[in-house]
A and B are shown apart, each in its own frame.
Chain A
Amino acid sequence: NAGVTQTPKFQVLKTGQSMTLQCAQDMNHNSMYWYRQDPGMGLRLIYYSASEGTTDKGEVPNGYNVSRLNKREFSLRLESAAPSQTSVYFCATKTGTASYGYTFGSGTRLTVV
Chain B
Amino acid sequence: AQSVTQPDIHITVSEGASLELRCNYSYGATPYLFWYVQSPGQGLQLLLKYFSGDTLVQGIKGFEAEFKRSQSSFNLRKPSVHWSDAAEYFCAVGMFSGGYNKLIFGAGTRLAVHP
Contacts and interface: CB of A to CB of B under 8 A. Distances in A.
User: Do A and B interact?
Assistant: yes
Interface of A: 31, 33, 40-45, 48, 50, 56, 58, 90, 92, 94, 97-99, 101-102, 104-107
Interface stretch (B12-20, B66-74, B77-85, B105-113): B105-113
Given A42-B105, A99-B51, A101-B34, A48 B90 contact: no
Interface in B44-77: 44, 46, 49, 51
Contacts of A42: 4, 90, 105-108
A15 B105 CA distance: 29
B46 A101 contact: yes
Q: Secondary structure at chain A's binding surface: helix, strand, loop or mixed? A: loop
A21 to B, nearest CB: 14
Instruction: Place the interface of chain B in its size category.
Output: 20 to 34
A97 B95 CA distance: 9
